[in-house]
A and B are shown apart, each in its own frame.
Chain A
């Protein structure tokens, strides 16, 4: 089946019916178009400043299928470059991370400074007769870069809106992952290394899962029975479910979405991390401080979410950011960063590291459940017959609330209250709604619809 440039919103992704064709997960041509229309235009998560603290430090990351170098130049400025020599395309950096004064291509020896400038060309005098204009042959740099509370984001599209405009009010939900647990601005760092592994499924399987797919909790029942949680039961401290409103929040014009728990007024936070008195006390103290600093907004507790298209947020237990790198229609390379308060005592960081990897990553018990589902769902959707039958995304269709408010607190975004309903596919639909818009839009003029709405006001 060929989708062409059109038909994404009217056929393959049918939001009215709540149905989505399996083709968008398994079709090679659609995948190729995604690389151009999504990954070359959207803002993508590249890394964290704490990974490159000193001049010369670098971390090799990815944007879409392409390898990029996140580095800090000699003057301390942060850059993101395409990891490909301008001469014949060889990777100029084949290490995962490190520190260097130059990136030297091992093929013919062209060498670049950490500011991307071409500084070394073998036989420049003899073979090039000093005629090569080195200033035109520096590393390809992303046209847009944004540093936000330690995180580094980039877009290949010079016409994309600035990152904070791209987020809109969703920035408040991103902050739930990036601010300190005590409510202080930023203050988080990366804990340990980055976990990287391959899953044989399309990148959208994990992406939709992390939008807030609460329906698949049955998959994790075995983990809940084992009790890997930080208080010795379940997989997380989930007592908040008993008192909070449980919400799915979607930003229709941006494509970002998340789950949140909304606490009632004046309700103390249930105790957490009870396996360790030190950790438990640390979080109790942080919660007290957070309420002082954040006021009413402290009632909002984060839950899994997704920044369009492929950055997943897991703000609380565990606190992580994941990127679903596309590696062909049938494979995803997951990179998972673990976050912790920079100022947390070593005992807290140690405890969290153990808990995090028990939960997430290739050996994490919860993530293993997910991977098994994505792997087999993808494989069982590739066949000729299977492709003829769409997936259902009808759950809760038509039950969204535009201006949601509870006990005096307005929640930005379009909300589905699932406290009684238990589940919805509201956030998943939002991911694909935006996906279809990106696939059809010719430019950011068509995608930045909020600008049109603002101009009309």
Chain B
């Protein structure tokens, strides 16, 4: 298991890797330590998601690029 990431430190523009291999860019951070708003840059599991904005759960984030 990778080290937990403090998502409260992630500002707009930061790139994150998700556990399903998707890469997304932070749009805004409500600083609740649980969610960030991000736009998908790539999504091998579901290419239709690319370009869409979603709330990303902290535990799905495995890496900061």
Contacts and interface: CB of A to CB of B under 8 A. Distances in A.
Interface of A: 100-102, 104, 106, 109, 111, 119-120, 122-123
Given A104-B32, A109-B57, 16 more contacts: A100-B30, A100-B32, A101-B30, A102-B30, A102-B32, A102-B55, A104-B30, A104-B34, A104-B35, A109-B58, A111-B32, A119-B55, A120-B34, A120-B57, A122-B57, A123-B57
A109 B34 contact: yes
A288 B64 CA distance: 66
Contacts of B35: 102, 104, 109, 111, 120
Contacts of A120: 34-35, 55, 57
Contacts of A123: 57
Nearest to B31: A100
A111 B28 contact: no
Nearest to A101: B30
B49 to A, nearest CB: 10
Interface in B29-65: 30, 32-35, 55, 57-59
Contacts of B30: 100-102, 104
Contacts of B34: 104, 106, 109, 111, 120
A119 B55 CA distance: 8
Nearest to A109: B34
Contacts of A106: 33-34
Which range contains the number of B residues in contact with the other chain? 10 to 19
Contacts of A104: 30, 32, 34-35
A204 B32 CA distance: 39
B28 A101 contact: yes
A119 B34 CA distance: 13
12 contacts: A100-B30, A101-B28, A102-B30, A104-B30, A104-B34, A106-B33, A109-B35, A111-B32, A111-B34, A119-B55, A122-B57, A123-B57
Contacts of B55: 102, 111, 119-120
A106 B58 CA distance: 12
A104 B28 CA distance: 15
Interface of B: 28, 30, 32-35, 55, 57-59
For B28, B32, B33, B57, the residue with the greatest tally of chain A CB atoms inside 10 Å of its CB is B32
Contacts of B28: 101
Query: What 4 A-B pairs come out closest when comparing CB atoms?
Result: A104-B32, A120-B55, A122-B57, A104-B34
A454 to B, nearest CB: 50
Contacts of A102: 30, 32, 35, 55
A123 B20 CA distance: 12
A109 B59 CA distance: 10
B37 to A, nearest CB: 8
A217 to B, nearest CB: 51
A1 B34 CA distance: 50
A100 B28 CA distance: 12
A101 B28 CA distance: 10
A120 B32 CA distance: 12
A106 B35 CA distance: 11
Nearest to B46: A125
A360 to B, nearest CB: 36
Contacts of A109: 34-35, 57-58
A14 B57 CA distance: 59
A104 B55 CA distance: 12
A122 B18 CA distance: 13
A324 to B, nearest CB: 33
Nearest to B32: A104
A197 B34 CA distance: 32
A106 B57 CA distance: 12
A102 B34 CA distance: 11
B32 A122 contact: no
A422 to B, nearest CB: 57
Nearest to B19: A126
A123 B30 CA distance: 19
A111 B36 CA distance: 11
A247 B28 CA distance: 58
Contacts of A101: 28, 30
B48 to A, nearest CB: 13
Contacts of A122: 57, 59
A120 B57 CA distance: 8
Nearest to A123: B57
A55 to B, nearest CB: 14
A46 to B, nearest CB: 24
